[in-house]
Structure 1
Amino acid sequence: MLSSRVNWNLLHMFVVLADAQNLSRAAEILGRGQPAVSAALKNLEDQLGHTLIERGPRLFRLTEAGKLLYREAREICGSIDRISNLLTDTEEVLVGNLRIVIASHMTSPLIDRSIYEFHRRYSRATITVTVMNSREIIEAMADRLIHFGIGPNFSKLPELEYFHVFKEYCGFYCGERHPLFGRRDLRVSDLENQECISYRSAVDSDTLQSITDMRKTVRFADPIKGIANNLEEVRRMVVAGLGIGAIPVQIAARDVRDGLLWRLPPYDDVMPIDIYLLTNPRVRPSKSELAFVSILREIVEATPLEDRIYNGLKFN
């Protein structure tokens, strides 16, 4: 059987290598020399009888066999990583590690209070926060690598469960070096053909569909000037003056007060984004995960809907 011939450490090495997309970077992550990682990859390919990665001086690409193995190996490695949490949580007092997977800058007192309340009730447990973009969260859940995540979503997958946490609205902003900064007489038409900054998730998927739709309505210049995987880097490029970007109003509020960002039209509540607690019922949760999910639901359900909507009336 193949399971008796394949070294599981080689599968972990392959996942790290595929994620890193670079031999030397993978070697650094694994704490091994580059020749050792290269030899391990060759060993795995020999065991499986397939070339997994096409590689050369400027070439690094998974083959079809490599893509198939990567999908399966990610799930296997994720399941192995979860075993330690499941075993640790068998003790009477909850002492395991809670891994919170969340999209960047999910700014809400609901989430902050939930994390604090978990800590207050289970002070011996530890917390690890992993930031992914919304597309990566969906992929990790679809691959059964995580039980839950927190982030925006537009198209709902039938295999996942969705619990609405809050709604935020975005506005278009520019930095102080931008020619539109400080102008109060602007219309939406003034944004046409201006260079824009966007999120990777808004370009490659529909998780931020409201931003994509508004960007097309405004008719910014093509191609997009800058693309980033997370909000912090979008904000950096906007503040630096590279172009106009969409930022949630409650997050941009401080930068507007500090004179780093300037709100642009349209000034109404536009680009709504719904933030969900996503759970995968096919992934067995640890006790730590069950406890946190229960606390978050408890706090959200006790909060009136109007207090879970972050719009221009509250933050402009």
Structure 2
Amino acid sequence: MMSGQRRRFVWEIDWNLLRTFMVIVQERGLTAAGERLSLTQPSVSNALRRLETHMGCRLIERKAGRFSVTPAGQRLYGECVSLFDIVSGLPGRIDESPDEIAGHIDIALASHVVCPFLDDVLATFHQTFAGVTLSLTVAPSREIIGAVLAREVALGICLLPERNAKLEARPLYREHFGYFCGPRHRLFGRSDVQLADLRDEPYVSFKTDQMADALWPVALLRQQQGLSGKIMGTSSHLEEVKRLIVAGFGFGPLPIHAVEGDVDAGRLWRLPPFSEPPAVDVHLVHDPAARRSRPETLLLEALGSALDETPLEARTYPRA
């Protein structure tokens, strides 16, 4: 039997306080949590105080310039993530019937995901399970990893800055990067350009174009060739990196297969190297310990089967 104290806690607790606390930990601050929840900072602070009163302990240490989660807060956060996982899956589990699979799947993708293999799997899945809807959210790869860990999305498709023991990651496809410039660049349209000609040229790139980050093969090429021009712009999104290149801020790396149309239309010009361009793997990431709705399970199974049946060479772009 549940004790009287525990029964009162269950009936009196405002479950929104737990959600607010979970976001505070994820955003590492009350102000950032308020922005995400569309609440004022005093409202978030009051919610945290109320929850700490209910729990009878300190959950967050709040001092000037310092934010830390207490051991009790860390344990509560883990339980909140599990609760959120259960509650978010309720509509799908209730709606499911033996005759028709219906529900919703949240997927987070990096901005440069151009993958015919993925498109084919999604097309077949939709033909088989027409009652399932999808939400596709574009975000930087590190945010995608965080969203999968927090179980805000069923799966992520992104670069892999580093391995995480809690997540399962498989290469979804491999893409090769080339250097490109726009019509306003002095090297545009020239077929006699050598890598040495790029050494002092202004540069535009992705924020992950670093030796210790996901685009390290691109950064390694830049380092090996001594390309030391001033960095004129960066972004986490392919379209914005391409915008700056087309606008003439400098040359920069882009997935070769993703910008073939821009090259054909005269908006971009390919620069060397033309042989052995840097290769980067884009991964399918999910949390194997997460509770899943039936549609989420079916989509992951469809993707897994397709990956097993299709060698990486057939999922490499541009194709040889």
Q: Would the TM-score normalized by the shorter structure come out above 0.5? A: yes
Q: Secondary structure at the match of 2:97?
A: coil
- 4-13 vs 103-112, greater mean Cα deviation: 4-13
- For the structure 1 residues 249 and 45, does the alpha-carbon distance in structure 2 shift closer, same or farther, using more than 3 Å as the test? same
Q: Distance in 2 between matches of 1:166 and 1:43?
A: 44
Corresponding position of 1:58 = none
Question: Which of residues 40, 43, 49 in structure 2 aligns to 1:39?
Answer: 43
Q: Secondary structure at the match of 2:231?
A: coil
Q: Distance in 1 between matches of 2:104 and 2:187?
A: 47
- For the structure 1 residues 54 and 116, does the alpha-carbon distance in structure 2 shift closer, same or farther, using more than 3 Å as the test? farther
Q: Map 1:1-316; keep pairs closer than 5 Å.
A: 7-13=14-20, 19=27, 26=34, 30=37, 34=40, 37-45=41-49, 47-48=51-52, 49=58, 63-65=67-69, 75=81, 78-79=84-85, 82-88=88-94, 90-92=96-98, 93-153=100-160, 155-203=162-210, 206-221=213-228, 224-303=231-310, 305-311=312-318
Q: What's the CA shift for 1:256?
A: 0.7
Q: Distance in 2 between matches of 1:109 and 1:235?
A: 21
Q: Distance in 1 between matches of 2:182 and 2:116?
A: 27
Point out the structure with max Rg over C-alpha.
2
Corresponding position of 2:55 = none
Which runs of no fewer than 5 residues in structure 2 stay unpaired?
53-57
Q: What's the CA shift for 1:142?
A: 3.7
Q: What's the CA shift for 1:259?
A: 0.9
Q: What's the CA shift for 1:192?
A: 1.1
Cα offsets for 1:214-260 (capped at 9, x unmatched):
23223344663222122122112111111222111101111111111
- For the structure 1 residues 73 and 296, does the alpha-carbon distance in structure 2 shift closer, same or farther, using more than 3 Å as the test? same
Q: What's the CA shift for 1:195?
A: 2.1
Q: Secondary structure at the match of 1:115?
A: helix
Q: What's the CA shift for 1:78?
A: 4.5
- For the structure 1 residues 112 and 40, does the alpha-carbon distance in structure 2 shift closer, same or farther, using more than 3 Å as the test? same
Cα offsets for 1:78-111 (capped at 9, x unmatched):
4255333552464322111022222223111111
Q: Secondary structure at the match of 1:177?
A: coil
Q: Distance in 2 between matches of 1:226 and 1:81?
A: 42
Q: What's the CA shift for 1:163?
A: 2.9
Q: Distance in 2 between matches of 1:222 and 1:81?
A: 51
- For the structure 1 residues 85 and 265, does the alpha-carbon distance in structure 2 shift closer, same or farther, using more than 3 Å as the test? farther
Q: Distance in 2 between matches of 1:251 and 1:127?
A: 23
Verify the 8 A CA contact 2:204 2:249 in the aligned structure 1: yes
Which runs of no fewer than 5 residues in structure 1 stay unpaired?
56-60
Verify the 8 A CA contact 1:117 1:295 in the aligned structure 2: no
- The letter for the 2-side match of 1:239 is V
Verify the 8 A CA contact 1:134 1:201 in the aligned structure 2: no
Q: Distance in 2 between matches of 1:181 and 1:53?
A: 54
- For the structure 1 residues 105 and 88, does the alpha-carbon distance in structure 2 shift closer, same or farther, using more than 3 Å as the test? farther
- The letter for the 2-side match of 1:84 is L
- For the structure 1 residues 19 and 234, does the alpha-carbon distance in structure 2 shift closer, same or farther, using more than 3 Å as the test? farther
Q: Secondary structure at the match of 1:201?
A: coil
- TM-score normalised by structure 2 residue count: 0.78
Q: What's the CA shift for 1:10?
A: 3.3
Q: Secondary structure at the match of 1:225?
A: strand
- For the structure 1 residues 229 and 81, does the alpha-carbon distance in structure 2 shift closer, same or farther, using more than 3 Å as the test? farther
Q: What's the CA shift for 1:261?
A: 0.8
Q: Distance in 2 between matches of 1:65 and 1:78?
A: 19
Q: Distance in 1 between matches of 2:143 and 2:266?
A: 33
Verify the 8 A CA contact 1:169 1:272 in the aligned structure 2: yes
- TM-score normalised by structure 1 residue count: 0.79
Q: What's the CA shift for 1:19?
A: 4.7
The share of aligned pairs that are identical, in percent, is 28
Cα offsets for 1:186-237 (capped at 9, x unmatched):
1111111322222223349522221221232233446632221221221121
Q: Distance in 2 between matches of 1:299 and 1:24?
A: 40
Verify the 8 A CA contact 1:88 1:95 in the aligned structure 2: no
Q: Secondary structure at the match of 2:196?
A: helix
Q: Distance in 1 between matches of 2:183 and 2:153?
A: 41
Q: Distance in 1 between matches of 2:80 and 2:261?
A: 39
Q: Secondary structure at the match of 1:64?
A: strand
